[in-house]
Structure 1
Amino acid sequence: MSTASNTLTSLAKDLSQEYPRSPRETLGGYVVAARALDKCRAVLAGTNGEYHFDCPLDNTFFSFTGIKGDDFKEFVATGADDEAVGAWINENSQVKERREVIAWNNKMRSTRPTDMPIELQEFLEGYIPQFIPSGKIVYVWFDVYDIEEERI
């Protein structure tokens, strides 16, 4: 096994046993990025469980930054740690103005299901009653992840 593979394996979470980071956590200054990284590492290490990398949530980050999921995955496969991935994101993002990143982060943090494309609203219409405990209220999209993964 190569050094990069050993490093990647040591950094990868076993997502069948623990959760990826909240989409609210930042990496390289971006929300969603740390969660995408956790899922990417787990996919590369074969420990992703039911989690998927390059999903609709990850794609909001990739679309905003102009980074391709495959390029992100290729860099992560080198065994880069969080700091190196954060630096790589900043080098490769098409967004260079910090204020644009702040505005996008805040938009993502406050996106309500009613603000989402109808396809995602339709998906959540069935997902929320199936996976979110009754009595828990989903105010914004990120709540779905944080409630289901027992952070709130």
Structure 2
Amino acid sequence: MSKQSNTLQLSAKNLETEFPRSPRETLGGFVVAARALDKCRAVLAGTNGEYHFNCPLDNTFFDFVGISGDAFKDFVATGADDEAVGKWIQENSQVKEKREIIAWNNKMRYMRPVDMPIELQEFLEGYIPEYLPSNKIVRVWFDVYDIEEGRI
């Protein structure tokens, strides 16, 4: 096993038994990025379980920074640690203005389902009652992940 693939295996979470990071956690200064990284590493290591990399949530981040999921995955496959991935994101992001990043992070943190495209609203309309406890209230999109994964 090469050093790169060994490093990747060691850093990849087993998403069959643990959860990726909350979409609220930042990497390189961006929400969603740390979660996308956890899922990407798990896909590369074959430990992603039911989690998907390059999903609609990941794509909100990739679209904002102007980085493709494939380019991200190629860099992650080198075995880069979190710090190196965060630096790579900052260097390759088309968004450099701190205020623009802050505004996007806050938009994402506080996006209510009603503010989402109708296709995602329709998906959540069925997903929430099926997979989340009825005593939990979803106020913002990220709540769905954090409730389902036991963080709130």
Normalization by structure 1: what TM-score? Answer: 1.00
Determine helix, strand or coil for the equivalent of 2:47.
Answer: coil
- The residue number in structure 1 matching 2:100 is 100
Distance 2:4 2:93 in 1: 24
Deviation at 1:118, TM superposition (A): 0.4
Deviation at 1:57, TM superposition (A): 0.1
RMSD across aligned positions (CA): 0.3
Distance 1:147 1:96 in 2: 32
- The residue number in structure 2 matching 1:127 is 127
Normalization by structure 2: what TM-score? Answer: 1.00
Question: How many corresponding residue pairs?
Answer: 152
- The residue number in structure 2 matching 1:86 is 86
Counting aligned pairs with the same residue, the percent is 81
- The residue number in structure 2 matching 1:3 is 3
In structure 2, the gaps of 5 or more residues are none
- The residue number in structure 2 matching 1:62 is 62
Deviation at 1:110, TM superposition (A): 0.5
Distance 1:45 1:70 in 2: 16
The answer to whether residue 32 in structure 2 is matched with residue 32 in structure 1 is yes
- The residue number in structure 2 matching 1:150 is 150
Q: Which contiguous aligned blocks of 4+ residues in structure 1 show a shift greater than 3 angstroms?
A: none
Determine helix, strand or coil for the equivalent of 1:18.
Answer: coil
- Residue type matched to 1:17 in 2? T
Determine helix, strand or coil for the equivalent of 1:72.
Answer: helix
